[in-house]
Structures are given as structure tokens and as C-alpha cells.
Amino acid sequence: MKTPANRSSALSTHRQRLEAVLAGKRPDRTPVALWRHFPVDDQDPFRLARATGAFANQYDFDLIKVTPGSSYSVHDWGTRDDWRGDPEGTRDISTYPVRHPEDWENIRPLDPTAGSLGAQLECLKVMVEHYGPDKPILQTIFNPLSQAKHLIGKELLLVHLRKYPEALQKALEAITQTTVDFVRACHAAGVDGVFYAVQHAQYGLLSEDEFEQFCRPYDLEILAAAKPMWLNMLHLHGENVMFDQLASYPVQIINWHDRSTEPNLADGLKRFPGVVCGGLRRIESMLLGTPESIHAEALDAIQQTSGQRFILGTGCVVPITVPHGNLLAARTAVEKAGE
């Protein structure tokens, strides 16, 4: 079979494959990565490292996105959660430390090497030791407003954002400082990038002006701390996202629910200068579909992007109930597409 122009015929390492994609070249095959929660295991840094690594190795994904419990970054401010069997693998928050405007005063900068954050650094050190530098490792980082949601709850957060903005913003400053320090510690541990999750860049939640006030300045401060890392991915969570408002963020990759909200992958490539990640529906295809339908969806995604500046994945975590055959199909789809 003839090798397409500007595509290497030699097999690449995972890192080399991603470096080629970031450079706008066609790699030997399309990179692919899926990620999921690991309930119960995510309460211990060493079990989380083993579970995450085993999953990535089993399916030979091109990067490892480390997914601790969603509220890991706010445990030391008093948030408590429980595992109650959610099929996405997420934990339910049982205790919110913020209920009244004055409670935001208790949110002060944390030591990123202690408590829950320090435990996550231990997980990352194990991951880097066993899987770096060939298989890049990304640590999940929630932006400050998303962390604030885990301190108060999603409904009350928007009430405080509009009724008590000064109190909330003072807390966001403390959250930002803690996150900046933690990101720097992740870099020092050898991590290749952050998976930066923004959950409120949705027109159904905030106006553009509200986003500019309560998200952008804090996001940019944290992403500046992540700049020395080479593989930073922005995750735009939800529907009707503010894609164009965040397309200027200093990251290498954008990931969003491209199959359920605008833009599609082809349009995303036109509006963002870096790499786009997505193409697979995590419920309709990965959970409820078949290997054949997953192969077809992957091929369509590769055709949309002409196989350049593209990583095959889903718009968010895959449910923990996804069948083995469908996970394997996502990985084999990139081989099949090259035949």
C-alpha cells in the first residue's frame, strides 16, 4: 500500500505519534484515547495509578488521562462524597462546605503537596515512573468555577454568582492560587500536560459577560502555569458551548461533545489552530452501539478531519459499563481506517 504524502511509513511511539499530530503532520495512524473513572480505586493514589495504567495498557491508547474522583481538589476545603453506583463512575457529594455567602471566606489557599492534592501527586509520580516518557500522561484539572460548584452545588452556585459576586470571586482567587501551585507540582512530577475541564462555558448556564468575569481570568492564570508542558487539552463540557470564546486559550488540544453540540470536528478545525479530539458518541455508540457502528463513526471522524490535527476519542468520560468489545473497537478503528 502506498504511503500518503507527509505520512510516515514507520511505526511511531505514542509520544512521536502525538508530536506529529501537533505539528500538523499525518502520523502513521490516527492517535486514539479514551478515559474513564475508577470508583473506589480513586480513593487511594496507588490503586488509582494501577487501575488507570492497566486500562490504558489493555487497549494501547496513545495517552493516559488520569481521572481522580471529581471532587478530589476540594476535599481539603470540606467537601465529602460517596460512591453510590453511578454508571459514569462518579461519586455523589454528600456534604457541601459552602451554604451561605460568608462561608466563602473559609476557602483559602491550600498546600498542593499535602492532603488530597498531595495524594494525587503520589499517583502521578507512580504513573510517570511506569509509563513515561513514551506514553504521555495528563492530569485532570477542574477550572476554579467548576471546583466552586463542588463546594456549594450547581444550583446554589449560580445564585451566589449573581447575588454575592464579590464573596465568590474572593474564593475563586484562593482556588486559582491553589490550582496554579498544584499544576506546577504536576509539571515537576513529570506530567506531560493537563486535561483542563471547563464546565460552565455553556450558554444555558452563563452569559458571555459572566463567563468573562468568573472564568476567563482565572483560567488564563492556571493555563499560564501549565504552559511549560507540551500536551495540554481543554475540555469544554456540556451543550451549546462557547467554543469561539475559548478557542484562543493557550492549549494544544480541544475536546468537546462534538457529536451532540456545535461545532462538528471539521468546523472546529477551522476555528481552532490546534488539534481537535472527539468523534465518538460515548452513550449511543460506545455504550449502546456495536463494534461495526463504532468503526463507521470513527471513519467518518477521520474523514471530517482528513486525518490531520485529530485524536479519536469521546466528548467526556466513557461510562464504566461500556462493553469490552466496544472499547476495543475504538482502538482497532484507527487501524481499520488506514487499510
Q: What is the pLDDT of residue 4?
A: 42
Burial class (CB in 10 A: 0-12, 13-18, 19+), 155: exposed
Average pLDDT over residues 97-114: 98
Task: Please give the Cα distance from 61 to 64 (Å, whole number).
Answer: 7
Average pLDDT over residues 260-284: 98
Average pLDDT over residues 272-279: 98
Average pLDDT over residues 46-72: 97
Average pLDDT over residues 115-136: 96
CATH 3.30.110.30 fits 14-337, yes or no: no
The CA-CA-CA angle for residues 78, 83, 87, to 5°, reads: 130
Residues in a beta bridge with 26: 7
For the record, the C-alpha cell of 52 comes out as 488507570
Q: Looking at the predicted structure, is the pLDDT value of residue 182 above 90?
A: yes
- Strand segments (E) across 144-211: 193-198
Which residues, 6+ apart, have CB-to-CB distance to 248 below 8 Å? Answer: none
Query: By three-state DSSP, how is residue 322 classified?
Result: coil
Task: Please give the Cα distance from 310 to 156 (Å, whole number).
Answer: 38
Q: In sequence order, what DSSP letters do the residues of 54-120 get, joined into one string?
A: HHHHHHT-SSEEE---TTGGGGGGT-EEE----TT-PPEEEE-S--SGGGGGG-----TTSHHHHHH
Query: By three-state DSSP, how is residue 280 classified?
Result: strand
Q: What is the pLDDT of residue 88?
A: 97
Residue ranges of the domains in the chain?
A: 14-337
Which residues, 6+ apart, have CB-to-CB distance to 306 below 8 Å? Answer: none
Q: β-strands 253-256, 275-280: how paired? A: parallel
The model's pLDDT over 203-241, given as tens digits with 9 standing for 90+, comes to: 999 999 999 999 999 999 999 999 999 999 999 999 999
Average pLDDT over residues 45-65: 97
Q: Looking at the predicted structure, is the pLDDT value of residue 11 above 60?
A: yes
Q: What is the pLDDT of residue 10?
A: 66
How many CA within 13 A on the CB side of residue 84? Answer: 6
Distance of CA 335 to the CA centre of its chain: 24
Average pLDDT over residues 278-297: 98
Average pLDDT over residues 73-95: 98
Q: β-strands 193-198, 137-142: how paired? A: parallel
